[in-house]
Amino acid sequence: MPRDIFILTENELRNAVRLDVKAVDVVEEAFAALGTGKVVMPPILSMAIPEANGEVDVKTAYIPGFDGFAIKVSPGFFDNPKLGLPSLNGLMILFSAKTGLVEALLLDNGYLTDVRTAAAGAVAARHLAPQAVETAGVMGTGVQARLQIEAAHLVRPFKRVLVWGRNAEKAAACAKDIAASLGIEARAEKDPARLVAESQLVVTTTPAEEPILKADWLHPGLHITAMGSDQEGKNEIDPRALVAVDLYVADRASQCEKLGELRSAIAAGVWKGGTPAELGGILQGQPGRANEDQVTICDLTGTGAQDTAIATFALAEAKVAGAGSVIES
Amino acid sequence: MPRDIFILTENELRNAVRLDVKAVDVVEEAFAALGTGKVVMPPILSMAIPEANGEVDVKTAYIPGFDGFAIKVSPGFFDNPKLGLPSLNGLMILFSAKTGLVEALLLDNGYLTDVRTAAAGAVAARHLAPQAVETAGVMGTGVQARLQIEAAHLVRPFKRVLVWGRNAEKAAACAKDIAASLGIEARAEKDPARLVAESQLVVTTTPAEEPILKADWLHPGLHITAMGSDQEGKNEIDPRALVAVDLYVADRASQCEKLGELRSAIAAGVWKGGTPAELGGILQGQPGRANEDQVTICDLTGTGAQDTAIATFALAEAKVAGAGSVIES
């Protein structure tokens, strides 16, 4: 039985959805829903294709009250740059939560994932970072390094950014881009310890498999958002840091135990805290940062709830703008 | 970075792919590949949406040697008929196995799933049913009842079909449809015991949650393909039958243990056979039916490998036919 399906291309989606406060609020709504315990969010489907140095993840979540749910497919093929192609791609499909019919194909090539991932960093900063952030530090020099700083700046309008990366040239280029986009001081910092010492907010955005941020570097009034680890082998934060801080918060405890910084802390035998706090729980009123001096970590592995929220928002925005085309399936 | 994506609608796919020997061979190739142990096939992602009496399953598999892999999304929303909509829908997305880029969107509304599911029944019948099948019985009266019989007839050209269903009218309608499509005798049979007694091949296609086929009804020279159970709560075959037969074969042991008839036999405590034979193993030369008198069961839960195979085939056939359209993502 053929039916109309709405199709949005990457360009149409880039025009419809920007990394702004609206997008942050949409993603915050997803976390708030997660905090109610009523979201249905199955474990991530993950498939490796070793021959191509590739993997594909599928995420989804049903959020009560939302008309639809997204299925998000994220392939990561890490030899693509050799072919002149980006490593990360994919699409989202929005289904009616009433009938299961395909409502829209969001051919975003990973753009909406970039936005919802950065927006989650902003939600974490909004609710866990000290109120006064003068300097923000970012570790990593890729797309998310830029976007995480852009998103965090929406909720903590810091005056200065420090960028650290293994490659000094890339760090300089990243700092230059951030300075241009935000119109603030941004520079590369070669010493990661100094970057952390001078920052009140640090975002780690690398695919590191050994910690790049040491527990010894923690200082009063620091918030760290770690968003690089989303797979078993990854680890950005010294496991001891997770127990040294005043508050460790997972985006989703069950995911962080398997894929996040929490996995490494459990594997190292240092985590004895049982099930940790979740970002959604904080949004629902559980204790968060108690004062400006506390030290906090938020561990982001990426949730299907964010995908459902951003896809729903993108479709609505695109329709308002009159963008998109319709195909009869 | 926008790129071309090939789009095929349900009608285009119906024209490109039919339930014929070619489709059966394509699905057989998928099972043969599974039998090599080299296919990467993660567990099914499954999400329930109780408010809408709905569920959605996502399946995938990477088959070495195939240029692409499919992600298949199957929503089942069982209140849809009240709205005049089919319960089962969905689509397949074909990705390059080299780069992870989206190659094609197959907007089949579940059609390719219907075909690959029926084709798997034919593969099971081809390799496990007695050579001489005079009468085939089908339990259930839905789409798969018709398609399973159509597919089985391609490999065992039986002369007579018996149809049993809880609803006598639906059974009569199903028999009439089968008689018309295959040009052979087909009639509804009220007594399921008699249906099994008179058949050499029985296919069960129901969503039953209590056995509809008793172990006492088994007789020499019978093959049963059970394709209805694909979820935890379902059970078509008396658990005792699985150990009473000469050979029980799973489409995928790890899936049947969780979702198939094997799950019920394990839960009932009657299965002591450890990991069972798989259809792919039989295709790779493991012992199958030894003679015309043996009794065999094949338990089909549906595999991502079938989806990758049928999607790859569908795209190739559509391209040969010049069907489809292209969208720049």
In a mutational test of the B interface, the residue from A53, A95, A328 whose CB has the highest number of chain B CBs within 10 Å is A95
Return the exposure string of A134-169: e unless at least 16 CB atoms fall within 10 Å of the residue's CB, then b.
Answer: ebbbbbbbbbbbbbbbbbbbbbbebebbbbbbeeee
Would you call A73 and B71 a contact, using CB atoms and an 8 Å cutoff?
A: yes
Q: Write the pLDDT tens digit of every residue in A123-179.
A: 999 999 999 999 999 999 999 999 999 999 999 999 999 999 999 999 999 999 999
Interface size A-B, in CB pairs within 8 Å, comes to 160
Q: Write the pLDDT tens digit of every residue in B105-139.
A: 999 999 999 999 999 999 999 999 999 999 999 99
- pLDDT at position B231 is 86
What is the amino acid identity at position A164?
W
Write out chain A residues lying below 8 Å of B69, CB-based.
47, 49, 56
* End-to-end alpha carbon distance in chain B: 8
Both tokens of residue B70? 């499919």
Write out chain A residues lying below 8 Å of B68, CB-based.
none
Minimal C-alpha gap between A256 and chain B (Å): 18
Select the residue of A49, A62, A64 nearest B62 (Cβ to Cβ). Answer: A49
Select the residue of A47, A75, A98 nearest B42 (Cβ to Cβ). Answer: A47
Q: Tell which A residues from 16 to 45 touch B, by Cβ distance under 8 Å.
A: 40-45
- pLDDT at position A67 is 96
Minimal C-alpha gap between A101 and chain B (Å): 6
Give chain A's mean pLDDT: 97
Contact between A172 and A180 under an 8 Å Cβ cutoff? The reply is no
Would you call B45 and A45 a contact, using CB atoms and an 8 Å cutoff?
A: yes
Q: Tell which B residues from 102 to 141 touch A, by Cβ distance under 8 Å.
A: 102, 105, 107, 109
Would you call B73 and A95 a contact, using CB atoms and an 8 Å cutoff?
A: yes
CB of A5 within 8 Å of a chain B CB? The answer is yes
What SS3 class is residue B314? helix
Q: What is the mean pLDDT of residues B34-39?
A: 97
Residue A190, judged by CB atoms within 10 A of its CB (0-12, 13-18, 19+), counts as exposed
Query: Which domains, and CATH codes, for chain A?
Result: 4-113+305-328 (3.30.1780.10), 120-302 (3.40.50.720)
Q: Is the dihedral of CA B76, B77, B81, B84 positive or negative?
A: negative
Cα–Cα dist A300/B26, whole Å: 42
Select the residue of B1, B54, B71 nearest A100 (Cβ to Cβ). Answer: B54
- pLDDT at position B20 is 98
Nearest Cα residue in chain A from B56? A100
- pLDDT at position A197 is 98
Output phi, psi for A280, to 5 deg. Answer: -65, -35
Q: Write the pLDDT tens digit of every residue in B81-94.
A: 999 999 999 999 99
Give yes or no for residue B2 having a pLDDT over 90: no
**pLDDT band at residue A1 using 50, 70 and 90 as cut-offs:** low
Give chain B's mean pLDDT: 97
Cα–Cα dist B52/B33, whole Å: 37
In a mutational test of the B interface, the residue from A4, A6, A12, A56 whose CB has the highest number of chain B CBs within 10 Å is A56
Look-up: residue for tokens 């085309």? A325
Would you call B100 and A64 a contact, using CB atoms and an 8 Å cutoff?
A: no
* ipTM for this prediction: 0.93
Q: What is the mean pLDDT of residues A224-252?
A: 96
- pLDDT at position B1 is 60
CB of B101 within 8 Å of a chain A CB? The answer is yes
Cα–Cα dist A77/A63, whole Å: 30
What is the amino acid identity at position B206?
T
CB of B81 within 8 Å of a chain A CB? The answer is no
Give yes or no for residue A328 having a pLDDT over 90: no
Minimal C-alpha gap between B60 and chain A (Å): 8
B191 bridge partner residues:
none
**pLDDT band at residue A192 using 50, 70 and 90 as cut-offs:** very high
Neighbours of B4 (CB within 10 A): 11
Q: Write the pLDDT tens digit of every residue in B215-262.
A: 999 999 999 999 999 888 999 999 999 999 999 999 999 999 999 999
What is the amino acid identity at position B83?
L
In percent, the amount of chain A with pLDDT more than 70 equals 99
Cα dist. B272→B234, B243, B267 in Å?
20, 8, 11
CB of A56 within 8 Å of a chain B CB? The answer is yes
Q: What is the mean pLDDT of residues B151-177?
A: 98
**pLDDT band at residue A261 using 50, 70 and 90 as cut-offs:** very high
Give yes or no for residue A109 having a pLDDT over 80: yes
**pLDDT band at residue A227 using 50, 70 and 90 as cut-offs:** very high
The H or E element containing residue B47 is strand B45-49
Minimal C-alpha gap between A57 and chain B (Å): 10
Q: Which residues, other chains included, contact B123 with Cβ-Cβ below 8 Å and sequence gap of 6+?
A: B24, B27, B28, B31, B279, B283
CB of A320 within 8 Å of a chain B CB? The answer is no
Neighbours of A15 (CB within 10 A): 14
Distance of CA A266 to the CA centre of its chain: 22
Contact between B170 and B163 under an 8 Å Cβ cutoff? The reply is no
**pLDDT band at residue B328 using 50, 70 and 90 as cut-offs:** confident
Question: Whose CA is closest to A92, among A111, A107, A77, A76?
Answer: A107
Minimal C-alpha gap between A119 and chain B (Å): 22
What SS3 class is residue A96? strand
Q: Which residues, other chains included, contact A236 with Cβ-Cβ below 8 Å and sequence gap of 6+?
A: A139, A204, A206, A208, A211, A212, A213, A226, A228, A229, A261
Both tokens of residue A298? 């938020």
Distance of CA B126 to the CA centre of its chain: 14
CB of B2 within 8 Å of a chain A CB? The answer is yes
Contact between A322 and A3 under an 8 Å Cβ cutoff? The reply is no
Would you call B83 and A75 a contact, using CB atoms and an 8 Å cutoff?
A: no
Contact between A165 and A189 under an 8 Å Cβ cutoff? The reply is no
Q: What is the mean pLDDT of residues A67-75?
A: 97
Cα–Cα dist B204/B224, whole Å: 8
Write out chain B residues lying below 8 Å of A90, CB-based.
100, 102
Q: Write the pLDDT tens digit of every residue in B264-314.
A: 999 999 999 899 999 999 999 999 999 999 999 999 999 999 999 999 999
